[in-house]
Amino acid sequence: MAVSARRRRTGIAAWGFALPFTVLFAVFMLVPVASSLYMAFTDMRGRDLRSPWAVNFVGFDNFAEALADPKFQQAAGNTLYFVGVAMPLTLAIALLLAVLLNSGLAWFRSVFRVGFYAPVVTSIVAVAVVWRFLLQPDFGLVNSALGVVGIDGPRWLTDEVWAMPSLIVMATWRNVGYSMVILLAGLQGIPRDVYEASAIDGAGPVRQFWSVTVPLLRPTLLFCAVITGIGYLQFFEEPFVMTQGGPLGATNSVAYEIFNQFGFGNYGLSAAMSYILFVAIVILSYLQFRLLRTEK
């Protein structure tokens, strides 16, 4: 009796402590998630805002419509292109920078760390202004520099071929600092003696990198890959501020298309698109876990 009464009291107390979080979570996470799922299966439009229950269920029609829409297909292709190039590029550069910072330049380490991390915390609006100047076709820094060596640079942001690579470089520049800082911390966690032992066994720096650094850094790399992948699949800010998805839809991304459809009031369709993107994120993360998991 006494035991069960005490247990009940402990249970109530525990729920009491958990209540603030549970309420916040329910109101700000569960309800929006449930509403958007509901929207994805109905024909809800902007004008139904006043009576959100007075809509029809349409099953998977929204999903079918999204997948059959050539604009969505183009956006999906663009997003895959972006993730496929930008994610490995970001991780490779971040790893390279982290290794360089870890192995030498000890005095300047914090200077470089701040330098490479600054773009991560800088507002996209400020970044966009600067990058637009850099990529300006006639008097921008990039084309002026190319002009010095006799190359006639393209119109970066308005050229169908070059717009996406321009955004890839910009996104990489913006995000490389984050992974670099995480990887640097991971590198500092690798014991010195492992390197010493491998040096005695005759391993040079390249061999050490592939046989010691990379395997021991796997969990950190996995973390960076997952976080970067999730962020990159939701590629939105760069095309939004730089190209408006153009030219000719070459930088339109899935997230941008969702944003547009929301703006047009096609709530059902855009909610369905959001869930398609969500599934893509789950799949990508799963593949990364499979690929980079620590071997037992």
Partner 1 sequence: MNRTPRLVAAATASTLTLALALTGCGRSDEAGTTDEGSTGITDGPATGTIEVWAMGTEGELLPELAEQFEADNPEATVNVTPVPWESSTEKINTAIATGEVPDVMQVGTTLMSGFVGLDGLAPTPEAIDPDAFFPGAWDTTVVDGTSYGVPWYVESRVLYYRTDLAQEAGVEAPQTWADLTEFAAGLQDAGADEGIALQTRGNSTALMYLPFYWQAGGEIMDDAGEFTLDNDAQVKALEYYSSFMRDGLAPPVLVEDEKVQNFVDGRLGSFVSGPWERANLLTTAGDDFAGKFGVVPLPSDETTASFIGGSNLAVLADAANPDAAWKFVQFATDPATQVDWFGISSDLPAVEASWEDPALADDDAVAVYEDVLTTARSTPAIPTWAEIEHELDLIIEQVIAGDLTPQDAATQMQDAATSIGTGLD
Sign of CA dihedral 40, 42, 47, 52: negative
Q: Which of residues 203-222 bind partner 1 (CB under 8 A)?
A: none
Q: Which of residues 170-209 bind partner 1 (CB under 8 A)?
A: 175
90, 286, 289 from 283: Cα distances, Å: 20, 5, 10
Q: Which residues lie below 8 Å from residue 87, measured CB to CB, with a gap of 6+?
A: 225, 228, 229, 232
Q: Cβ closer to partner 1: 97 or 238? A: 238
Write down the least CB distance from residue 108 to partner 1, Å.
27
Q: Which of residues 14-43 bind partner 1 (CB under 8 A)?
A: 27-28, 31-33, 35-36, 39
In the numeric block, which tokens belong to residue 8?
């009940």
Write down the least CB distance from residue 282 to partner 1, Å.
15
Beta strands in the chain (DSSP E): none
Closest CA to 225 of 183, 275, 168: 183
Closest CA to 281 of 237, 229, 239, 235: 229
Write down the least CB distance from residue 109 to partner 1, Å.
25
Binding of partner 1 by 285 (CB under 8 A): no
Tell me the Cα Rg of the chain.
24
Binding of partner 1 by 51 (CB under 8 A): yes
Write down the least CB distance from residue 197 to partner 1, Å.
39
Note the residues at the interface with partner 1 (CB under 8 A).
Answer: 27-28, 31-33, 35-36, 39, 45-47, 49-57, 71, 132, 136-138, 155, 158-160, 175, 230-232, 234-237, 240, 244, 246-249, 255-256, 258-260, 262-267, 270-271, 274
